[in-house]
Amino acid sequence: MTDSLHIETPALTASQPVAPQPVEHLVMEPADSTLQAYFAGEPAMLRRFVVERKSVENWGFPLPKDSVFLAEQRSFWDSLSREITWQHESVPYRPDGIAGDPVPYRFRNDDFVTSALMLSFFLLVWVMASSWRFLREVAKDFFYHRLRPNLFTDRANTVLRGRFFLVAQACFMQGILFFDYTQKQQPEVFAQVSPYTLLGVSTLIFGVYYLTKVMFYRMVNLTFFSPERNKQWDDHLLVSILATGALLLPLTLLVVYFDLPFRETLITYVLLMAIVKMLLFYKAYRIFFSTLIGNVHLILYFCALEVVPILILWMTLLASNRFLMANA
């Protein structure tokens, strides 16, 4: 092997000025035999590399042929490439995509339910504002029993307006809460029945419940009590329905938009309804059964017209879920 590096001792003579000669091109002096074999004898700076596409059987690197070590590496890589098992895995094309987990239905993503809740809120505010004098008189006389109405009160301004809306709003709030119960406690019903069907049927059942209860109250009261007492009871009954809708509206908003847990929802609902029923029980005592012997009559009256209808209502709601699931 010859070395391309040439060393020469400089002469100790005075240098003579030499005119510079133009250099047309730069040529690299031939290197040692290894680099000459690698570049095939061409100057390194003028070499043009061409990429070759090799097959799997002839997979390797362009190495010099006169290097024993690099030749061993070539044979090692060639043997390794033959031992590699190439696998081809095909994935079938699905034009509709791959089925994933369905997104659960939420009321907060439903424009219809959101619009209905906003409408309920504004109409509730309108009813309370337009019937403010009536509500004030009822609150003033709630714990003070008055046998005859106040003659100095303007009758036109002491009427509860929007009575139909009050019943519809209370039914809609309780329908949403029962829908949440169905979604959490009966997922098999919720998975097979449309959400709008569940909400509509439960709201309709609550509406029939309130309508039937008012009719039974009037039938019993007209039979046993005077018209003045019946009028007082009707006003307080409508106020109790108004209070039910007003108290359930914040609870419904917490359930719909903040995912209030079911346990806390159930406890809050039972407490609110217990407060309304206790106040109604007290007012029934003051209007109809203020005597000593009237306590027994009050218990029978209240159990027959409040407790029993609630039990029938609950069984009807559960039966409606079973019916909807059977006919889905």
In the chain, how many domains are there? 2
Whether pTM > 0.85 for this model: the answer is: no
Residue 28 lies in a domain: no
Q: What is the pLDDT of residue 239?
A: 87
For all residues of the chain together, what is the average pLDDT? 76
Residues 182 and 79 both lie in one domain: no
Residue 226 lies in a domain: yes
Q: By residue range, what is the domain housing residue 113?
A: 107-326
Residues 165 and 282 both lie in one domain: yes
Residue 15 lies in a domain: no
Residues 199 and 247 both lie in one domain: yes
Residues 288 and 207 both lie in one domain: yes
Residues 160 and 42 both lie in one domain: no
Residues 257 and 164 both lie in one domain: yes
| Per-residue pLDDT reduced to its tens digit, 166-193 | 889 999 999 999 999 999 999 888 888 9
| Per-residue pLDDT reduced to its tens digit, 213-224 | 999 999 988 888
Residues 190 and 276 both lie in one domain: yes
| Per-residue pLDDT reduced to its tens digit, 85-101 | 556 566 665 666 566 66
d(CA 135, CA 158): 8
Residues 75 and 116 both lie in one domain: no
Q: What is the pLDDT of residue 163?
A: 80
Q: What is the pLDDT of residue 56?
A: 44
